[in-house]
Amino acid sequence: MQAVKYRCYGLLLALLCCSASFVYASGSIVLVVDDIGNQRAVGRAAIDIPWVSTVAIMPGRPYTQELAEYAFEKNKEVIIHAPMSNMGDFPLGALGLDRRDGKAQLLANLKQSIETVPHAVGLSNHMGSRLTQDREAMQWVMAELKKSGFYYFDSLTISGSVAWQVAKESDIPWYRRQIFLDHYQTEEFIAAQWQKAVLRAQRGEVVTVICHPYKETLAFFQTLSPTAEELTMSQPLSAVLNYPAEKATPLPPVNQRNFPEEA
Ligand SMILES: [Zn+2]
């Protein structure tokens, strides 16, 4: 039922988008802001970015619930940003997913995350360069997400991630990240990455972009004043998902370059 709901939503947004096609091709930008939950003011400012459609909130943080409620009130889509084990062994913090803790503990942390982030409809990985390459562990994760009707968004923090493939095989809706906006926090870099995303969307592509609540990122979006027509390109993740039973939207190949773990 959940899948049907997402599909209807997607169709509705696609129709709305077509009505604005005199301005742009039918491409779209999904801007996801990651790492929300530790700081209230910065988190709110990031959620308020007009282009942000989807908010990835970390479980078990001081402002997890408050900011999930805030995002929902602002009509932003909420997903869980689950910390996952990584090759650098950076600490995961609360409710991290690590197979070295055992399957039972991993699933207990995942279930608790699902129960304690209000309004969440999907899940993405925070870090995760180790866990997302672990097919069996990702099968455990996807089986649990399926029970809750969640989708999976692969942050693709390492090119060898099998997470999105396992989501597809596990019969849950999925998508994967295409552009990191701000892994270098300079105005020039962020502006250039954003320009890439906009150009691709104007050519008709669906472009998924991850940003973070860095002060440089917030400052960059304050310099933009998107028109209503431009914002019709902005869609939540649930509007662009691939469904396992359907032919997947063609996606650009996975960039073989790996990215910093803070994604
Ligand atoms: Zn993250």
Q: Which domains does the chain have, with CATH numbers?
A: 2-239 (3.20.20.370)
Distance 189 CA to ligand 1 centre (A): 19
| Tokens 């869980």, residue located | 80
Residue-wise pLDDT tens digits, 158-183: 999 999 999 999 999 999 999 999 99
Distance 190 CA to ligand 1 centre (A): 17
pTM of the predicted structure, to 2 decimals: 0.86
Distance 22 CA to ligand 1 centre (A): 36
Residue 20, helix vs strand vs coil: coil
How would residue 12 be classed by pLDDT, with cut points 50, 70 and 90? very low
Give the full edge-to-edge strand order of the sheet including 206-211: 174-176, 151-154, 120-127, 77-84, 52-57, 28-36, 206-211, 179-180
Residue-wise pLDDT tens digits, 178-218: 999 999 999 999 999 999 999 999 999 999 999 999 999 99
Angle, helices 215-223/40-47, rounded to nearest 10 degrees: 30
| Tokens 């969640």, residue located | 150
What one-letter code names the amino acid at 137? A
Nearest to residue 1, comparing CAs of 155, 159, 121?
121
Residue-wise pLDDT tens digits, 79-95: 999 999 999 999 999 99
Distance 263 CA to ligand 1 centre (A): 4
How would residue 255 be classed by pLDDT, with cut points 50, 70 and 90? low
For residue 21, pLDDT over 50 is answered with no
Rounded to whole angstroms, how far apart are CA atoms 130 and 109?
17
Answer with the residue of higher pLDDT: 245 or 180: 180
Residue-wise pLDDT tens digits, 22-80: 444 579 999 999 999 999 999 999 999 999 999 999 999 999 999 999 999 999 999 99
Distance 16 CA to ligand 1 centre (A): 31
Question: Is the four-CA dihedral 118, 212, 202, 159 of positive or negative sign?
Answer: negative
Distance 44 CA to ligand 1 centre (A): 17
Distance 35 CA to ligand 1 centre (A): 5
Distance 92 CA to ligand 1 centre (A): 10
